[in-house]
Amino acid sequence: MAVLLVCHASLTAVNGAVPGTPLGVDAATDEVTLRGDIVRSIDFHGNAHFKKKVLRQRIGIELGDQMDPFLAEGARRILVDVHKKVGYVFVEVLQNKDLLPSGRLEFTIREGARVRIKAVRFEGNRAYRNDTLSAVVKTKAKKMFVLPSYYTAQRVEEDAEKLREFYYDHGYLGHKVEPNTDFSEDKEWATITFAIDEGKPYRVERVTYSGATHFSEEVLSKNIEVTSGQIYLRELAEKGRRDIEDLYRENGFIDVKVTQTPRFKADAENRTVVVEFVVVEGRQFRIGQIHVSGNEGVQDKVVRRVLDEYGFTPGKLYNAKFAPVQGDSLLEKYVQRSTLAEEVIIQPVPAANGAPDQKDVYVDITEGMTGMIMPGVGVSSSYGFVGQLVYQQQNFDIQDWPESWKEVFFMKAFRGAGQNMRIALEPGTRFSRYSVSFSDPYFRDRPINLNVSGSSYTLSKFLLKSYEEKRLRAAVGFEHRQWGKYRKVFNVRTERVGVQALDFDAPQEIRDVEGDNYITGLKVGTGKTVVDDIYMPHEGYVFRVAYEQVFGEFNFGIATASAVRYYTLYEDVLERKTVLSASVKGGTILGDAPPFEMFYAGGSGGYSIRGFDYRGVSTRGLQVFDNPATAPVPQIKDPIGSDWVFTASGEATIPLLGENFALLAFIDSGVVDTGGWRYSVGTGIQILVPQWFGPVPMRFEFGVPLRKDEKDDVRQFNFTMGRLF
């Protein structure tokens, strides 16, 4: 039990109380035992909307505080503001001042009607429609379309300021916005009118540059979107400022500063702006020595190869856009992802050799966990539950052999070279796989990705409809990548494909390949990646095209192509970006291919059309019965694959909490060689948990087919949790 003792130099005895005695509080009456210049009680009358304990918290006065008439008046005003903020516009709060000398605070609250908003109107606006301005303000006649909305003067004034900022940002610098409120006779309703005098927009008279010596005005003007004659948009001018800074930073000007200063001119006829960009260039630097520290388990070359791939090497101009002085850079992220570090800091420092035009670079690594032996489970709407027992070392070194089994178990062996080794046992209800894979992202210290894998997996009838498929596969692949240039791909695979457990009514196309089938494929391809962030792109595009020739029991070719374009639709004040990705994907078979090599669409992977089932969009085969004499009339039923496929999709990713939790909205479409176009629309949630699944997100998607073929299989809800691939 805690006892509070209070000593006060000016305390006097009242009613026999002795100075220095403890202050006791009666919980039932909220009174203290000593009278005088302290608060003995706090009470409220007439309060209906707020409970008394809430009001006590709001005024911030506690029992035992020193009594102060000014503090009491402040509490009264707080009570008025608290009620007005929730719509009690005409509230009255009275304070019984006669009780102050005895230490009693007593307030009488006359709430009055809680004023609801009847309508929000705009007058005088010509350049922008009412619905556009309505999206700017928060004051609405209804919340969530059905709930009542209550009037507060503070919010109305905030909305007026938002409208002023809106017009200013869109070039109407001489605008006026005045809010007016009309209350009904019974004071229960309010009609809010924003009176707007737009004035004339200011147009850009010319764009000038000062302080720029390294780049000509012609070069600078090509890097911004502000041009003479257009309406002055503050946001566009600010973007131009950032673009000029980025141009300098890309070319070694680490400390460049650019300011954008508009000079407004107005007369009776014209309103113009001279936009001036003031550049303080600073010195241009090249990269000197690069020092890597903190990497006990990761070899230096693993870090340096990443820097080399992106052109961050000694002698090159210091790209301060890619690796800015203030940190939080893309290059730091790329090194962190490649080394699986907890943190990477890249910092330029004065050159050790004293060269005035150089900066040495320190790359400090805080190492993370790169190896694991992990049991787990994955689940998706298509593949069901898949158990997982995985050994994975993402900082593998095939030449670092262990000296004991203890080093293997505690992940101390086979470590350091940045290679990836994964051994996975993944039994499942609909899909099972057992695999071993090895990859070296810098084969022979060049940006060539070497992939070697062997796997055995089974697809159940639940997925394939009329048969079960077992594959034994070995593959070797090379991918030579160059940053910002076309990459080259070469893959070889050999497989034994077992088609078994056929349904009694399996189509003839499936019956023709029953048993073991042996194939070998040689694949070549190329592509290009030009994005602002290779892990979470917001701008740019990715393009791929490939051709595979298959030999063995079947001879045919597979040609495929895909492209994705990323657009940033909106960036909020926290720099969270709403991104639209538009993608197309297609493929065609050249020759006669077996069903297990044909194209299927639907579901959320491969040739995705969400709202349809896995392999739900496909050419169908005619039923063939084991005993035709007693069989019903054959139907065209089970999927047998299509000779060609084409899909097109658009998806908006809207961040809700940081970059790890986002809302999805999508439109999918596709076509195979039968059935015509299919369309679907939908929404979903994306959750990114890199600590568990790396860059693979969890997704929960709901799609509604708007157009489908009568034989298509529909699945409106799709979800993926866990890294199944």
The string of pLDDT tens digits covering residues 369-406 is: 777 777 777 777 677 788 888 888 888 888 878 777 77
pTM for the predicted model, two decimal places: 0.68
Tell me the one-letter amino acid at 709: D
Could you read off the pLDDT of 492-515 as tens digits, one per residue? 999 999 999 999 999 999 999 999
Higher pLDDT among residues 370 and 5, named by residue: 370
Structure tokens at 599: 């194209």
Structure tokens at 458: 């089974």
Element (H, E) at 59: helix 52-59
Distance CA 674, CA 646 (A): 12
* Per-residue pLDDT, 26: 46
Domains and CATH numbers, the chain: 25-110 (3.10.20.310), 116-197 (3.10.20.310), 203-280 (3.10.20.310), 286-366 (3.10.20.310), 441-721 (2.40.160.50)
* Per-residue pLDDT, 507: 95
Nearest to 207 by CA among 260, 243, 257: 260
Could you read off the pLDDT of 301-336 as tens digits, one per residue? 889 989 998 889 999 999 999 999 887 888 999 998
93-96 CB contacts, 8 Å cutoff, 24+ apart: none
Residue 268 has pLDDT above 80, yes or no: no
What phi and psi, each to the nearest 5 degrees, are found at residue 480?
-95, 115
* Per-residue pLDDT, 499: 96
Pairing label, strands 358-366, 343-350: antiparallel
Distance CA 275, CA 232 (A): 9
**Across all residues in the chain, what is the average pLDDT?**
87
Nearest to 483 by CA among 289, 711, 316: 316
Distance CA 713, CA 11 (A): 85
> Dihedral, CA atoms, 600, 606, 607, 610, nearest 10 degrees?
100
Distance CA 115, CA 188 (A): 5
| Arithmetic mean of pLDDT, 591-599 | 96
Residue 171 has pLDDT above 70, yes or no: yes
The DSSP letter of residue 692 is H
Could you read off the pLDDT of 602-613 as tens digits, one per residue? 987 789 999 999
Residue 33 has pLDDT above 50, yes or no: no
151 contacts 160 by C-beta, under 8 angstroms: no
Nearest to 38 by CA among 47, 27, 30, 46: 30
506 contacts 483 by C-beta, under 8 angstroms: no
| Arithmetic mean of pLDDT, 542-568 | 96
State the DSSP string of 553-590: S--EEEEEEEEEEEEEEEE-TT--EEEEEEEEEEEEEE
Distance CA 50, CA 111 (A): 10
229 burial (CB, 10 Å; 0-12 / 13-18 / 19+) is exposed
Q: Which residues, 6+ apart, have CB-to-CB distance to 405 below 8 Å?
A: none
Handedness of CA 128, 133, 134, 139 (dihedral sign): negative
Could you read off the pLDDT of 700-724 as tens digits, one per residue? 899 999 999 999 999 988 877 654 4
* Per-residue pLDDT, 418: 84
The DSSP letter of residue 201 is P
Distance CA 75, CA 58 (A): 8
What phi and psi, each to the nearest 5 degrees, are found at residue 691?
-65, -25
* Per-residue pLDDT, 109: 96
Residue 15 has pLDDT above 50, yes or no: no
Residue 29 has pLDDT above 50, yes or no: no
Residue 484 has pLDDT above 80, yes or no: no
3-state secondary structure 461-523: HHHHCCCEEEEEEEEEEEEECCCCCCEEEEEEEEEEEEEECCCCCCCHHHHCCCEEEEEEEEE
* Per-residue pLDDT, 373: 75
Distance CA 546, CA 554 (A): 19
Other Cβ atoms less than 10 A from the Cβ of 169: the count is: 16
Distance CA 634, CA 624 (A): 7
What phi and psi, each to the nearest 5 degrees, are found at residue 622?
-75, 135
* Per-residue pLDDT, 8: 36
CA 194 to chain centre: 36
* Per-residue pLDDT, 23: 41
Helix residue ranges per DSSP H, 85-233: 130-134, 153-169, 217-222
678-684 CB contacts, 8 Å cutoff, 24+ apart: 678/601, 678/609, 678/612, 678/617, 678/705, 678/707, 678/708, 678/709, 678/712, 679/705, 679/706, 679/707, 680/609, 680/610, 680/611, 680/612, 680/704, 680/705, 680/706, 681/611, 681/706, 682/610, 682/611, 682/716
226 contacts 234 by C-beta, under 8 angstroms: no
Structure tokens at 327: 């940190």
Q: Which residues, 6+ apart, have CB-to-CB distance to 34 below 8 Å?
A: 11, 14, 17, 21, 23, 40
* Per-residue pLDDT, 77: 95
* Per-residue pLDDT, 573: 58
Confidence of residue 571 (pLDDT cuts 50, 70, 90): confident
Confidence of residue 5 (pLDDT cuts 50, 70, 90): very low
Other Cβ atoms less than 10 A from the Cβ of 22: the count is: 10
